[in-house]
Amino acid sequence: MRKGTHYTPEIIQKISETTKAAMTPEVCAKISKAAKLRMTPEFRQKLSKATSATMTLERRHQIGEQTKARMTPEVLQQMSKTATAAMTPEVRQQISKSVKAYAATIPLKLKQQINETRKIAMKKPEVVKRMSELSKQRWQNPEYRARVVTGIMKGWHAKPNYPEQGLIHLFQEYNLPFRYVGGGEVILGGKCPDFINSDGKKQLIELFGTYFHDLLDAARRTEHFRQYGFTTLIIWEDELGNQPRLVKKIRKFTRHKQEVK
């Protein structure tokens, strides 16, 4: 749009529809290829310098205010749905590579300036409140919760602890149909169970230590997974010392749908 020209909402909508119609997959691929060829490290650095020269604090503030005015709850919800549908693992990987490549071209002085601007912004109560609201909205998305929890578990390099390893050996020795998924392989409503039935039954096993967990934790965990159609068997760490009794308990659980505590 030319500077100083005012467009009515109807004209803007018509321009948008025309642009969408013209942006076929072939056209998008052609534009993307041309952009990649143009985006050399030298060009990125030149573009970064030009942007830094024009992006004063006042201009950044103005853009921020305009963006906030447009970002209504309805718009944010629609953007979240669209982004979730488009963000396949391959797309995320490609974006990550592109961001890292771009970050490597940003001058150190500009990075420091961005960090300082962010620190100043995060001291404002209205900014903190807005970010908190956005985080809560994102957390309502089950796919987003699952992605975050899985990322955290992978970041921790979650592996079976000593009691869980003992239970895994018990499953193997007595041919019990359960496998370890406590590393983030299965996420249900933002929570990761310890073991899942490997025969396709919607059954879970949670191994609880008596020091960190109590009966209330067991009830909450069981009820949470029940919402997703799973029955849950709670095994307490001190039960590992009596294998015959524990095996009998697990086999009884696999034969019936009711929880055994």
**Residue 258: predicted pLDDT:** 46
Give the pLDDT score at 146: 67
Q: Which two tokens stand for residue 239?
A: 């039960």
* Interacting residues of 202 by C-beta distance below 8 A, sequence separation 6+: 228, 229, 230, 231
pTM of the predicted model as reported, rounded to 2 decimal places: 0.47
The answer to whether 237 and 218 have CB atoms below 8 angstroms apart is no
List the one residue out of 200, 206, 240 whose CA is nearest residue 220: 206
Q: Which domains does the chain have, with CATH numbers?
A: 89-140 (no CATH), 162-255 (3.40.960.10)
pLDDT given at position 155: 56
Token pair for residue 63? 């853009």
- Residue 257 is predicted with a pLDDT of 56
Tokens of 26: 């072939």
pLDDT recorded at residue 259: 43
Average pLDDT of each block of 10 consecutive residues along the chain (261 residues)?
A: 61 78 78 75 75 73 76 74 72 77 78 80 81 76 69 62 91 94 85 92 92 87 94 94 94 72 45
What pLDDT is stored for residue 249 in this prediction? 95
